[in-house]
Amino acid sequence: MQTAYADELRLEDYAVHPERGFLPAEDPLPYLEDPYYAPWEQIAADLPKLLVARKLRQVVDAMPRLTIERLQTERELRRAMMLLSYIGHGYVWNGDAPAERIPTNLAQPWYEVSNQLGRSPVLSYASYALDNWRRLDPNAPIELGNIVLLQNFLAGLDEEWFILIHVDIEVKAARAIRQIPSALRAAVQSDIPTLTAALREVATALEQMYAVLARMPEACDPYIYYHRVRPYIHGWKNNPALPNGLIYEGVDAYGGQPQQFRGETGAQSSIIPTLDGLLGVQHADDPLKTYLMEMRLYMPPAHRRFMEAVETRSTVREAVLQSGDAALREVYNACIEGIQRFRALHLEYAASYIYKQQAKDPKNPTRVGTGGTPFMKYLKKHRDESGAHRV
């Protein structure tokens, strides 16, 4: 039965690409061609200027109420979701005080598009990074130096670089993700050479991911990130500036009640949780684990299902423990150390880019993450739990 499960796990069944990992199989749509959606495209294109002028709310309030019925493909839905999420977050945070409600002409289509995609009407990692890039040379690789953003809040080098680092990491992770079906099968069949080779690729991918993450300071300054990039990606759950959440006007499903959604955060990337599942990394049953499980609700549903499939099927850790094979144990530990090292660098950045900054605006606290958590405590625990899985 286990062998059948391993054989049945196919990347294409979960919108996972062997060369791109969790990035879309086709490059994100650069614009909605139907002129009907020109108002959304125009406001999004003008977003940096409107935010500087503090005119976004005025412009959005006058925006026509558009239906989503003319969006034909998933690429169009994802483009629309990205546009509306940026406009929505700009609307909420572009003022001395946050907006406590989203007008019907924005709230309704935002809710409808998010519902089609199986997500919530809030800016998530999928719209912020996975669907927010284009290649300068369409025939060259998806990597730093050949990718730029499709959409910004204020724009500028630091915002651009911060998000593009994440896009490049997603591509580098594909080297590990595509090994998962083979690793699962090899573990069930006690095929030590195949499992060793698969985990060696995972370890190499983690090294490449770390090398990309280590480039963050090259073009993203901590002060600029904290004061210019971060303010617009906060959500409205566990946020001291919006303690009651946000009202989505005209959305019948919410019955006029304020809604609370987490802000965009790297914890919404599927990479590390999927590799945790592959390697059998367990997290203690506490508020951190509850939060990590909640983050999955913000991921594309197919990726969430993939992660869960890997977790339920993986016997990789058991195979390593039972094999007695020194080379397999060594490469497994290299994977564990790769995850711990990646998380440790993330923790360092959280300290320098957020925790050590001087809060000047209650809308942008230094002690609460954009996902609404005491992030320093969570990240330390996450890092330490990873390292504890060496064998």
> What is the Cα–Cα distance from 161 to 147, expressed in whole angstroms?
10
Residue type, 184: L
pLDDT tens for the 391 residues of the chain, in order = 344 444 579 999 999 999 999 999 999 999 999 999 999 999 999 999 999 999 999 999 999 999 999 999 999 999 999 999 999 999 999 999 999 999 999 999 999 999 999 999 999 999 999 999 999 999 999 999 999 999 999 999 999 999 999 999 999 999 999 999 999 999 999 999 999 999 999 999 999 999 999 999 999 999 999 989 999 999 999 888 999 999 999 999 999 999 999 999 888 999 999 999 999 998 877 777 788 888 999 999 999 999 999 999 999 999 999 999 999 999 999 999 999 999 888 878 877 877 667 667 766 665 565 555 555 556 566 667 766 778 8
Q: What is the mean pLDDT of the chain?
A: 92
Helix axes 316-323, 271-279, angle to 10 degrees: 40
186 burial type by CB count under 10 A (0-12 exposed, 13-18 middle, 19+ buried): buried
CA dihedral 272, 278, 284, 285 (to 10 degrees): 100
CB 113 within 8 A of CB 81: yes
- Domains, the chain, ranges and CATH? 2-387 (1.20.58.480)
Residue type, 374: P
Neighbours of 389 (CB within 10 A): 19
CB 255 within 8 A of CB 226: no
Convert the pLDDT of each residue in 67-78 to its tens digit: 999 999 999 999
Q: How many CA atoms lie within 13 A of 73 on its CB side?
A: 10
Whether the full predicted model's pTM is greater than 0.75, yes or no, is yes
- End-to-end CA distance of the chain: give it in Å, rounded: 27
Planar angle of CA 378, 381, 387, nearest 5 degrees = 140
Count of H-run helices and E-run strands, the chain = 18, 4
Convert the pLDDT of each residue in 140-149 to its tens digit: 999 999 999 9
